[in-house]
């Protein structure tokens, strides 16, 4: 099949779309499925995204059963619900021991299965059959997956299967191997599924990114990670590129165009070898067949009516949040969110504004792609900067566990412990321990953290009680005062968590899921920050004005449903790098809300 997109040329049976939240993988997966069906193929579209909106895109209810898309001959869809799959998986493991083992042990098993690893494994469990059971998908020429299994999931499944007794005997450390304890029976099926993923005659992975340095760095890491475990048939789709035709007489649009072109020219070398497609930014929401059929076409986009006058948005700007944070004099400020939403820049902006006010600040990150030195491009007297190296911290943690717990094990037990420590979650725990050392400083100064531990990490560390309860047990009945890192994170007087998102459907849904994870770990987010908002600035380009109008529903969703307080940060003409621009970002020097020139004074 010939297509405007390389990734659809001579497509194998299985197509997997992967990428961070908000890059548009669901829209591209849906558009690809429609294009294949329109060409006469029988296509099954499968979503394993917890924030799936495939049904919303097509305007019908889909759910966890194969459902025909009436308006597209030959197309059917299925939405696997990872949360429901995870619950069924937990019930299958815990059910047989409930009432047999003491309640405290059963509760511990449930807690160990409450993290994100269980959800990942359960979702993979659900669609394994689609990869390996030919009878189940015999009626389809091609299967299109929205959200591929991550390298994290596949590395878990490639670890040996002798953990059940090892974990039960307490030889393993806090890791994400708990979810795998009941999987030995399915291991041959999982191996067949991973083999299918790695077979270029059967499978193709499409890495979806945006033309942003941080997103391109992340997708380069994903490419290298998947390539290293044998998934070599990869294509790159860079989505949402502002066309040059949309930049006329609009300084902001022109600046964005130039910025994106520089990002593409300077993309990581690892990506240059991949077949690449560039997909233009569209002015319309990608809902409905007409829009989907336009997405992958190089033809001129649909004409859109000029957007109406934009209302003044009631959100605070970032400086309002800084005022509240600064009033405490010290404390921990954690910025959380998915990749590509601008956490590093916002963390740096908060830190320099607090330091400008004469407050002592330690700014730190564990993001391998973050370059705080480049972002700051300068110094302030009250600001110190550090970067946690995840690889170094992981190796330090591994050596500590092997020299303590491993010293007491026989050769077989030590070998299994080493396998446990190769689990992807080991890095999360090691990084958290490094964070814990820095957290102690927040009693005397501000500590601003970029790429804070995920809700998943926090559940691993606290829901299983590995650290927190051990400290409590060692203290016994003594009246000695103690504070664990988790206690500090759970105390709103000591810690403020800011969730960063974009005013787009998937990033808001993913941020809401992160908030749920944090709340399960006993942490209440303090505020949300909606970054890079077109609706919070002034644009003249018809394309961008329509995009601004599309943001309003997502901003309202955050304001009305999710956030106790929130701030809106406008899309800026220049990248906020360097102390001066960061101070402008965090100090309230933001453009006024969008009011088109020809309508000033209305609304």
Residues 256 and 329 in one domain: no
Structural domain contains residue 309: no
Mean pLDDT in runs of 10 for the chain (603 residues)?
79 90 86 95 87 78 88 92 79 81 76 70 78 85 84 64 51 57 65 86 93 88 86 93 90 94 95 95 81 79 52 76 94 88 92 94 82 80 90 89 85 79 76 83 93 63 48 53 74 93 87 87 92 91 90 93 94 88 75 33 32
* CATH number for the domain that contains residue 328: 3.40.50.300
**412 and 527 share a domain?**
yes
Instruction: Choose, from 21, 22, 342, 349, the residue flagged as catalytic.
Output: 22
| 250 and 101 in a common domain | yes
Let me know: does 416 contact 166? Beta carbons within 8 Å: yes
Same domain flag for 250 and 169: yes
Catalytic residue among 25, 171, 338, 343: 25
Do 353 and 285 have their domain in common? no
Q: Of 295, 330, 360, which residue constitutes the final position of a domain?
A: 295
| Local structure of 217: helix, strand or coil | helix
Q: Of 19, 20, 21, 24, which one is the catalytic site residue?
A: 24
Both 283 and 337 in one domain: the answer is no
Note whether 221 and 334 are same-domain residues.
Answer: no
Assess whether 590 carries a catalytic annotation: no
- Supply the range of the domain harboring residue 211: 6-295
Q: Other C-beta atoms within 10 Å of 304: how many?
A: 15
Domain assignment present for 33: yes
Among residues 18, 19, 20, 27, the one annotated as catalytic is 27
Q: Are residues 415 and 563 in the same domain?
A: yes
Q: Domain for residue 306, yes or no?
A: no
User: What is the 3-class SS of 530-574, one letter each residue?
Assistant: EEEECCCCCCCCHHHHHHHHHHHHHHHHHHHHHCCCEEEEECCCC
Q: Which of 18, 20, 21, 26 is catalytic?
A: 26
24 is catalytic: yes
Give the pLDDT of residue 464.
Answer: 41
Domain shared by 107 and 233, yes or no: yes
**For residue 584, what is the DSSP state?**
H
Instruction: Please tell me whether residues 168 and 124 are part of one structural domain.
Output: yes
User: Is residue 368 situated within a structural domain?
Assistant: yes
* Residue 60 is assigned to a structural domain of this protein: yes
Asked, for residue 302, whether it belongs to a domain, the answer is no
- What percent of the chain is predicted at pLDDT more than 70? 80
CA 290 → CA 37, 38, 241, 531, 548, distances in Å?
A: 14, 13, 20, 29, 21
The total domain count for the chain is: 2
Has residue 92 been placed in a domain? yes
Residues 400 and 270 both lie in one domain: no
Let me know whether 340 and 489 are in one domain: yes
Active site residue 22: yes
The answer to whether the CB of 275 falls within 8 A of the CB of 207 is: no
Options 394, 506, 537, 590, the catalytic residue: 506
Measured CA distances, 285 to 27, 107, 288, 550, 594 (Å): 10, 44, 9, 7, 19
Name the residue among 497, 570, 585, 567 with its Cα closest to residue 539: 570
84 falls within a domain: yes
Distance from C-alpha of 19 to C-alpha of 208, rounded to nearest angstrom: 5
Distances (CA, A) of 320 to 527, 569, 588: 11, 11, 8
Beta-carbon contacts of 544 under 8 Å, excluding residues fewer than 6 positions away, are: 246, 250, 252, 253, 534
């Amino acid at each position: 099949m010939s297509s405007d997109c390389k990734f659809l040329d001579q497509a194998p049976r299985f197509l997997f779309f992967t990428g961070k939240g908000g890059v548009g993988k669901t829209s591209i997966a849906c558009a690809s499925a429609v294009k294949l069906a329109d060409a006469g193929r029988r296509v099954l579209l499968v979503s394993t995204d917890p924030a799936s909106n495939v049904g919303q895109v097509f305007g019908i209810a889909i759910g966890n059963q194969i459902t025909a898309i009436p308006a597209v001959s030959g197309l059917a869809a299925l939405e696997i619900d990872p949360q429901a799959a995870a619950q069924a998986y937990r019930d299958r493991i815990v059910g047989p021991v409930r009432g047999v083992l003491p309640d405290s042990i059963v509760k511990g098993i449930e807690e160990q299965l409450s993290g994100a690893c269980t959800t990942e494994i359960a979702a993979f469990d659900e669609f394994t059959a689609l990869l390996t059971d030919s009878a189940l998908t015999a009626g389809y020429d091609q299967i299109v997956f929205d959200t591929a299994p991550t390298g994290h999931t596949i590395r878990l499944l490639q670890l040996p299967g002798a953990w059940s007794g090892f974990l039960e005997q307490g030889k393993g450390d806090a890791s994400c191997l708990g979810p795998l304890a009941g999987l030995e029976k399915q291991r041959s099926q999982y191996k067949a599924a991973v083999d299918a993923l790695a077979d270029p005659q059967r499978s193709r992975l499409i890495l979806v990114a945006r033309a942003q340095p941080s997103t391109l760095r992340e997708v380069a890491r994903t490419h290298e990670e998947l390539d290293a475990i044998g998934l070599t048939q990869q294509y790159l789709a860079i989505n949402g590129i502002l066309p040059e035709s949309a930049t006329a007489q609009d300084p902001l649009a022109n600046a964005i165009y130039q910025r994106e072109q520089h990002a593409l020219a300077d993309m990581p070398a690892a990506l240059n070898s991949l077949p690449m497609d560039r997909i233009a930014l569209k002015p319309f929401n990608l809902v409905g067949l007409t829009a989907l059929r336009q997405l992958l076409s190089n033809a001129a986009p649909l004409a859109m009516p000029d957007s109406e006058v934009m209302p003044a948005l009631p959100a605070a700007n970032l400086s309002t949040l800084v005022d509240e944070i600064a009033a405490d004099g010290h404390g921990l400020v954690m910025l959380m969110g998915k990749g590509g939403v601008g956490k590093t820049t916002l963390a740096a902006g908060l830190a320099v504004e607090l330091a400008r006010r004469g407050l002592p600040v330690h700014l730190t990150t564990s993001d391998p792609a973050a370059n705080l030195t480049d972002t700051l491009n300068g110094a302030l007297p009250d600001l110190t900067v550090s970067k946690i190296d995840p690889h170094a911290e992981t190796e330090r943690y591994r050596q500590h566990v092997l020299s303590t717990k491993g010293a007491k094990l026989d050769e077989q037990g030590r070998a299994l412990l080493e396998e446990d420590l190769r689990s992807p979650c080991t890095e999360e725990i090691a990084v958290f321990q490094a964070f814990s050392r820095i957290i102690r400083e927040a009693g005397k100064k501000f500590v601003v953290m970029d790429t804070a531990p995920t809700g998943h990490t926090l559940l691993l560390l606290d829901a299983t009680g590995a650290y927190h309860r051990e400290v409590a047990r060692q203290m016994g009945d003594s009246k000695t005062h103690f504070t664990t890192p988790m206690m500090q994170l759970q105390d709103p007087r000591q810690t403020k968590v800011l969730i960063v998102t974009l005013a787009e459907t998937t990033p808001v849904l993913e941020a809401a899921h992160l908030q749920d994870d944090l709340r399960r770990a006993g942490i209440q987010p303090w505020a949300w920050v909606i970054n890079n908002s077109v609706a919070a600035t002034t644009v003249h380009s018809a394309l961008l004005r329509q995009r601004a109008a599309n943001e309003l529903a997502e901003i309202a969703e955050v304001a009305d449903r999710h956030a106790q307080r929130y701030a809106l940060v406008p899309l800026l003409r220049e990248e906020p790098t360097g102390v001066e621009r960061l101070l402008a970002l965090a100090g309230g020097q933001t453009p006024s809300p969008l009011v088109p020139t020809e309508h000033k004074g209305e609304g």
